[in-house]
Amino acid sequence: MKQDSLDEVLQSNDLDVMHLNDDHKDIFNYINRLQKIAEQPNDFEYAIIILERLTSFFVEHVIKEELLLQKYLPAQLVRDHALLHQDELAQLDNSLALLKKQLTSDTIHTVVERLKREFTYHICRSDRKIMLELIKHQKSKKHYH
Ligand SMILES: [Fe+2]
Ligand SMILES: [Fe+2]
């Protein structure tokens, strides 16, 4: 997972963009905590709490992200990106349902792998791409006004 690339690419002075970038790092931190819990049978129940927290954190995050995108980018682009967020939310819901049904080291590992794959793809590719697009639009707007 190349999280460092987030810092490297998103060199922006815009506070909102920096804030979203911090959120992205926090999302990976939640997943890493979940991974540690998979090795600690006495703490399995925390896996559900962490996943619930990650879900609310992600809901707040996508609201902020979509609002910022709407300010600068064409509506269709924002709608397409918002659809990807719906996929992530569905993954989080399914993961929570799985853990509530069967809370074992194996199911926690399954969830961790699923979320790592999903969020690495979303954050390191889709978000990165759309943030670069956003920065470009912000710059050109500043330039013309
Ligand atoms: Fe994001
Ligand atoms: Fe996103």
Give residue limits of the domains in the chain.
4-144
Q: How far is the CA of 88 from the centre of ligand 2 (A)?
A: 9
Listed residue (136, 143, 134) closest to 71, CA to CA = 134
Taking domain 4-144, whether its CATH number is 3.30.43 is answered by: no
Distance 113 CA to ligand 2 centre (A): 19
Its pTM stands at 0.89
pLDDT in tens, 20-29: 999 999 999 9
Residues bordering ligand 1, an ion, CB closer than 5 Å: 65, 127
Task: Report CA(98)–ligand 2 centroid distance (Å).
Answer: 24
Distance CA 108, CA 64 (A): 29
What separation in Å is there between the alpha carbon of 140 and the centre of ligand 1? Answer: 22
pLDDT digits 0-9 by tens, 22-62: 999 999 999 999 999 999 999 999 999 999 999 999 999 99
List phi, psi (to 5°) of 25: -65, -40
